[in-house]
Amino acid sequence: MWPSQLLLDVNWEFRDGAPGPNPWWKDRSTLGTIIRSASELDLFPMRWVGSGRKLAEIKSLDALIEDSTSWQDRSYMLHSRKQGGLEGSSLELSLREGLLRLYLTISDEDVARRKDSLCDGMIELVVRSHRALAKRAMLAEMAGIRVPELEYPRPRPPREHPTFAMGVLATFIDPAHLALRDEKFPEEHLARDLAKVRKARLPEGASREERDGLIVLRWLDGPPDEDSARRACSLSEDWFARTLDPPIAPQWNDLGDQEVDVAGFESHPPLTLYDEATERGLKALAVPRSGKAPRKELDELARWARAGKLPDGTPLAELGVILSSREAALALHDRLTDLGVAPVVYTDKDGTLWDPFPPGEWIE
């Protein structure tokens, strides 16, 4: 089974005082080279072009490149379908005086058509584009090949790097951009991280190369079917987490527990908290760290959960409990979930609620 889409999202930021015409796309050897490369690599059938809802047929590649020198400061779409939109494949080129964003969307039909060479072609497009922009622009942060809305096993707690794309099929890194950013934000330790990225042992199935001033980390060594894409995304995120130890994502603690958002919840006896909009309730229980709880209280919660409502008729789509310690939550979790009572969360000394069994797929 193939992913519904593959996305390539990369940005170049132009250097101050970069040589060449203004705006930069007046030089057909720059944007024209990128457009020609996209066509030569046959990533998708480019048949239509436009900067709004109405697309015009592409008469010839040379004519398209010539027209691009008169484009304006806006976004242009090269599309496989006349009607444009989310159906089909497309290449969006966002042009700004100091910026180029290249946003490539490959639909499932073109993923299947080019399955054996698609990732190679997407990587080659980035390398050729970077070469065309040499000495004028730097590849910005978070550049990578992604599979949108793909669920895959993740390390816990999740981590976020300020510049490197994680959970992707390929990661692109421009050392020149990192050096400049490291001067501005030394607290991000980018020079240290770059050294590790260049030297650290990669897991089986991954590869690393430097081409035209770019570091390319590839996490997939075959066609991007859904199973292999899941493995690649999991592999990349786990490697970055283990190798660089980047900051923990917001709303997570270092134990891998996720903060419980109780915005919109209010007191609603006999529940401690209740959200009328989602019909979710939480009941605080006084349970020791051992998790030993009175059976009578648990049976009562189980009856409410099975009935889907409180004794007063208040609807319950979900009923969970709040315990006073993480140890109690761990000890009582399985027993409560077997009774249909979940989530089992705990409160810290600041009153924040944490879920030690957060939803999602996690690397053990």
Q: pLDDT grade, residue 18 (50/70/90)? A: low
167 and 105 in one domain?
A: yes
195 and 335 in one domain?
A: no
> DSSP assignment of 114-176, as one string?
TTTTHHHHHHHHHHHHHHHTTTTEEE-SSEEEE-TT----B-SS-B--SSS--SSSEEEE-HH
Q: Quick one: pLDDT at residue 17?
A: 67
Q: Quick one: pLDDT at residue 212?
A: 93
266 and 237 in one domain?
A: no
**Is residue 249 included in any domain, yes or no?**
no
Q: pLDDT grade, residue 222 (50/70/90)? A: confident
Instruction: Report the predicted TM-score, pTM, of the whole model to 2 decimal places.
Output: 0.91
286-301 pLDDT tens trace: 999 998 988 899 999 9
267 and 186 in one domain?
A: no
The H-assigned helical ranges of 185-320 are: 190-199, 226-244, 295-307
Residue 135 reports pLDDT greater than 90: no
Q: Is the C-alpha dihedral spanning 47, 52, 56, 61 positive or negative? A: negative
Residue corresponding to tokens 């009153």: 351
CA distances from 327 to 217, 322, 324, 344 (A): 40, 12, 9, 11
Q: pLDDT grade, residue 350 (50/70/90)? A: very high
240-269 average pLDDT score: 97
Asked if residues 157 and 259 have their Cβ atoms less than 8 Å apart, the reply is no
The residues near 29 (Cβ < 8 Å, ≥ 6 apart) are: 132
237 and 285 in one domain?
A: no
3-state secondary structure of 331: helix
3-state secondary structure of 76: strand
CA dihedral 10, 153, 195, 119 (to 10 degrees): -40
Q: Supply 171's token pair.
A: 């990661």
169 and 266 in one domain?
A: no
Q: pLDDT grade, residue 21 (50/70/90)? A: confident
285 and 164 in one domain?
A: no
Range of the domain at 309: 258-355
**Is residue 137 included in any domain, yes or no?**
yes
Distance between CA atoms of residues 294 and 321, nearest Å? 14
Q: pLDDT grade, residue 275 (50/70/90)? A: very high
183 and 35 in one domain?
A: yes
Asked if residues 251 and 171 have their Cβ atoms less than 8 Å apart, the reply is no
Distance between CA atoms of residues 120 and 183, nearest Å? 33
Of 244, 274, 294, the domain-final residue: 244
